[in-house]
Structure 1
């Protein structure tokens, strides 16, 4: 108890000191060049957040998530490339250090890190990635080092999640936090759609031809909020909408009517933002994820009502007399097909590369496909080939052996989540667990058409819910 009070006082004193120091610094920075002042101000704020993360690793965990989701805003404002990966690595290492030196709680069940089936598959995948360093089909090892660094970052975040979110109280707090930041992103996306992209956002997009191609389609801008790109934004909006739609089916004793009204508002904002993102893969995620929830809850009256409303809304969007909205037209192409040349090109690429897949069981090597291949392995057979699919990228870079491991890992994660749902008794806990399973399943399906799980923002959320899934499994084992 004394240590907790001392730690809290230390944090308060540190904040007071930072505010005292910040007053003259901010005044000085304000007189500088606008571009340079943004960089300096970002550095000051970053140091303050880093100090808090070093003292309280639980707060640092949420700071890391927030920074990872919003770090692209100062990059666009300064029109300067910020080493995003280095910033994320620094915050994550601070959080990891806090976890290592924190005393273990006796009331929290221990995870069997050396026998858990899901973690064993993860270790196998990690070993396979390390072996890829010696892949003879890879021209340059530099891309492998970059990929491994990102992978280790995600791996560390997964294990930190199992440490931080160790009880249901921690899980509740995480979902509240995530819905708040996700709703903020959705509201900002709706604002972008209403008033247009802000000047610094338009200038940043104009400076990057690759960004321009993905944002501007058919004369209109795809909305990305403060995320990295419209694809990441759309996928996270679909995940938030799925979870809220599942929670709204709870009984009045679990979630009161005022909170259900709030959930309805959150769902509406997420759906609007999802439509404005123009991400067709995310459009498909919504019915796919909710379908899993409907199948396991057909006995629930609220579920049947929600399923009926959702089905009616889908039919109205697909077949209703709405022909002037580009958003609705793009939504329909995700389900009813179109003459979009980009979709046809994807099919041609997949069929044309099949002989290479059959003849390379260990793949062409990490970071050899698409733009990554052009950058790190120029002249490679796969360089410049756009996979537009997480599974296609996996089989091209890691071979069909790697694809089997990836699919096994995805299956194990969903299996754990569904099994946790049937082992849980509390209604709210069951809804959260089936929500996790629905999101995981939706991302698995979405990965067929897009590299949904490989996006930075999506990877954070996916690893967070995977960590919750593993932790809940061992909490159940203790209660038996």
Structure 2
């Protein structure tokens, strides 16, 4: 495999030199093709590396889009890398632990039933056309393939450690870039892209300033992922020195601070609530841990300072406080009015109005309705039957995640199970006001954690490198 990559690069050198003399865009196109072929070759021969390459591309491809100044087929790029990685995983059958999984497990059965409902939605009489069904089904298939890859990826605690290490590192890099955007302003190519495609950035410009989005698609999904990163760091900081050394804890603290600042800069109020929700579950599950009590005390103190401290001129802190102001926030009140207004429609449509029928231009009765909630969108587009299936799935998912913690035999197993449960609970809460599982970037983490919960239940051996 390394020889194949070397040959490709050697052949590319004279071609690049020749095309560079002709036109710049052809050089860029060729360079992209060479890099893409190299990554594809790596992904086929080593699907574990391929999985992380696919995730990295999905998280950073928007930056390449903005630098190019034109829209890219992001979904096609991500799907292409995912399918190549999946092919590599099927060719490489080194994971024997996947055979331990009972594919008639109740949690997996809920996924099968849900897929059946999605297939049924194709015949929904309320649908104006089938384009929404095709788009939604493609995204759902992508998410399930990511979940399956993680189930193959995780063979032991070392693989699980690598998974969380990767996400912490890439989210920290995203936080660093976000801080740069906040402190020094958006780069020229970012401003030019916003000016060229203003419809993509309707939620970026608000009264209190610019909502930071780092190298991701928008501030909302960026904020959700920053909240997940903060929760990961907090839970891992409660580990003993034997599992996480003092040096690593210092790095986790630096990562957490950067992510928390970036979270504030994103202006995503749902994400502000996710962090205390994740911490709450951590405390309820792990209350006997001394480090948990210390961490909780520090968190409560920091929260009180932010909420009631003498900071009245910072737009970031003002918006953060508005997330906990309840009925005092006008936009939240508008959402509540919309939810009550649309309830009769939900009761009268057991399988909803059709997939993506809330999107503008759908031509349905729900055309342009702002659900502002993953659960409300499910109830509207898939009916109360779909909402019930989703709630059963979430109940089993969290039940399994918590059970994995209490069945753990080592501290490493307990800490990773705790981290998984806390992040999943926070994402579950976030879906009340956002659509975390429907956005490409956050869906990859959400369904990856789904795969971890399922696989961890069936892992009976531990192989941890301290």
TM-score by length of 1: 0.92
Using a 3 Å threshold, how does the CA distance of structure 1 residues 38 and 325 change in structure 2: closer, same or farther? farther
Count of equivalent residues: 463
| C-alpha deviation, 1:44, in angstroms | 2.9
Give the structure 1 partner of residue 40 of structure 2.
50
Residue of structure 2 in register with 1:386 after alignment: 370
Helix, strand or coil for the counterpart of 1:448?
coil
| Aligned CA-pair RMSD | 1.9
Correspondence for 2:108 among 119, 136, 141: 119
Counterpart residue number, 2:147: 158
CA shift for structure 1 position 424: 0.3
Given candidates 124, 129, 134, the residue that maps to 1:145 is 134
The one-character-per-residue Cα deviations of 1:171-196 (angstroms, maximum 9, x if unpaired) are 11111111111111111111111111
* Counterpart Cα distance in 1 of 2:335 and 2:19: 49
**Cα 1:341/1:107, change in 2 over 3 Å:** closer
1:249 aligns with 2:233: no
Kindly report which structure 2 residues correspond to 1:335-374, keeping only aligned pairs within 5 A, or say none: 335-337=324-326, 339-369=328-358, 372=359, 374=360
- How far apart are residue 316 of structure 1 and its match? 0.5
SS at match of 1:332: helix
Q: How does 1:133-282 map to 2 (within 5 A)?
A: 133-218=122-207, 220-282=209-271
Give distance in 2, aligned partners of 1:477 and 1:405. 32
CA deviation after TM superposition for structure 1 residue 43, in Å: 3.2
Match of 1:413 among 397, 400, 408: 397
Contact kept? 2:375, 2:431, Cα under 8 Å:
yes
Instruction: Answer whether contact 2:404 2:417 (CA < 8 A) is retained.
Output: yes
Q: Tell me: CA distance 1:199–1:35, structure 2 relative to 1, closer, same or farther (3 Å).
A: farther
How far does the alpha carbon of each residue in 1:402-424 deviate from its partner, in whole angstroms, 9 at most, with x for none?
00001111111111110000000
Partners of 1:42 and 1:74 within 8 A in 2:
no
The 1-side partners of 2:173 and 2:27 are apart by 26
Cα deviation for residue 34 of structure 1 reads 5.8
Once the two structures are superposed, the pairs formed by residues 12-91 of structure 1 within 5 Å of their partners are 12-27=2-17, 37-91=27-81
Following the alignment from structure 1 to structure 2, what is the Cα–Cα distance between the partners of residues 328 and 294? Answer: 25
Residues 98, 151 of structure 2: 8 Å contact kept: no
Answer yes or no: is the 8 Å Cα contact 2:107–2:396 preserved in 1. Answer: yes
Answer with 334-343 or 459-468: which moved more.
334-343
1:430–1:355 CA distance, 2 compared to 1 (3 A): same
- Structure 1 stretch displaced more, 115-124 or 422-431: 422-431
Q: Cα 1:312–1:85, aligned 2, differ >3 Å: closer, same or farther?
A: same
Q: SS state of the match for residue 214, structure 1?
A: coil
Whether the 8 Å CA contact 1:109–1:474 is kept in 2: the answer is no
| Alpha-carbon distance in structure 2 between the residues aligned to 1:237 and 1:283 | 10
Q: Secondary structure at the match of 2:365?
A: coil
Q: What SS class does the counterpart of residue 368 from structure 2 fall into?
A: coil
Deviant stretches of 4+, over 6 Å: none
Contact 1:109 1:475 in 2 (8 A): no
Q: Which segments of 5 or more consecutive residues in structure 1 lack a partner in the other structure?
A: 1-10
Render the CA deviation track for 1:237-281: whole Å, top value 9, x for unaligned. 110110111111111122111111111101111101111111000
Identify the residue that residue 463 of structure 1 maps to in structure 2: 447
Q: Give the direction of change, closer, same or farther, for the CA distance of 1:36–1:238 in structure 2 (3 Å limit).
A: farther
Equivalent residue, structure 2, for 1:423: 407
Going from structure 1 to structure 2, the CA distance change for 1:247 and 1:219 (only over 3 Å counts) comes to closer
Query: Whole-Å Cα distance in 2 between the matches of residues 31 and 226 of structure 1?
Result: 32
Cα distance in 1 for partners of 2:303, 2:372 equals 26
Task: Indicate conservation of the 8 Å contact 1:234/1:274, yes or no.
Answer: yes
Partners in 1 of 2:235 and 2:462 — Cα distance?
A: 27
1:106 Cα offset (Å) = 4.4
Change (3 A) 1:356 1:98: same
Q: Secondary structure at the match of 1:54?
A: helix
CA distance in 2 between partners of 1:58 and 1:283 (Å): 33
Equivalent residue runs for 1:251-330 within 5 Å: 251-330=240-319
Shift of 1:144: 0.5
Please say if residues 95 and 155 of structure 2, whose CA atoms lie closer than 8 Å, have aligned partners that are also in contact.
no
Post-superposition CA distance 1:358-395 (Å, at most 9, x none): 111111111100xx2x23x22x2111111000000000
**Per the alignment, in what secondary structure is the counterpart of residue 177 of structure 1?**
helix
Give the match's secondary structure for 2:456.
Answer: helix
Which deviates further from its counterpart, 319-328 or 206-215?
Answer: 206-215
Distance 1:83 1:268, change over 3 A: same
